[in-house]
Chain A
């Protein structure tokens, strides 16, 4: 069960390593085309919505911080570069500082093609 509303899940595998005063967080997730929203995005070509990449990273960081949830309060920047399809693996590496939580992440596919970058503040 979830503790907050969410359109997609955190990464199944997430690890965190303290590094130079910030937390280095890495996560991996296989895109599942059967999620509740994905069959309609789009009906004949399923594409993982870009905003779900943001949701996946934020939920994964909440998980390693031991928080029920993190609420996005500001998107400083968000770039979607190439689409993700069911079966693709989403990998991200994020530098996370706390108080307030600031996440700067680079997201790639399993073949290291960059799919998204994001910088967000959370409460």
Chain B
């Protein structure tokens, strides 16, 4: 199953400026997915850079790369569970390595695997590539299930899970 940006907007509870994914491919519920994000020089993280900054200053922050990967993991979970009244919140990470950088114009590709899912939590692992170059590896990300009432009302998950 593939998801376009409009479907991701409806699926994730984030507002548009915080949706850090553009599309998803090869989504297999309970198993994994591949998610894509193209980095733009117009993103807010670059707004305060001096105009004379070199390209090194434009390395996409590891924190946002981690958030983007976490959102891909959330999409996988949301499409793997019928519990539409609950949401997943990022609870932690272990053994994540950042071995390269991405810059405006690059498309990052997150490969996400669901390692384990229980009633109250989900555990994923994976990596991020730019082209064939691996820039990050994620040993384990943990997310916990919370009542959907803890967050603003998102749009229908059902429309995504049914295609």
Contact = CB atoms under 8 A, between A and B. Distances in A.
Contacts of B61: 4-7, 55
Contacts of A79: 91-92
B62 A72 contact: yes
A74 B64 contact: no
Interface string A73-90: 111111110000000000
Contact of B16 (A7, A40, A78): A40
A51 B63 contact: yes
Interface in A1-41: 1-7, 36-37, 39-41
B120 interface: no
B15 A5 contact: no
Contacts of B53: 3
Contact of B66 (A2, A39, A51): A51
B94 A37 contact: no
Interface string B102-118: 00000000000000000
24 contacts: A1-B49, A3-B50, A4-B56, A5-B49, A36-B17, A36-B47, A40-B15, A40-B19, A41-B14, A42-B14, A42-B151, A43-B14, A45-B150, A45-B151, A51-B64, A54-B66, A55-B61, A55-B63, A71-B98, A74-B96, A75-B97, A78-B93, A80-B90, A80-B91
A-B residue pairs, 4 tightest by C-beta: A40-B15, A36-B44, A44-B152, A40-B18
Interface of A: 1-7, 36-37, 39-45, 49-52, 54-55, 71-80
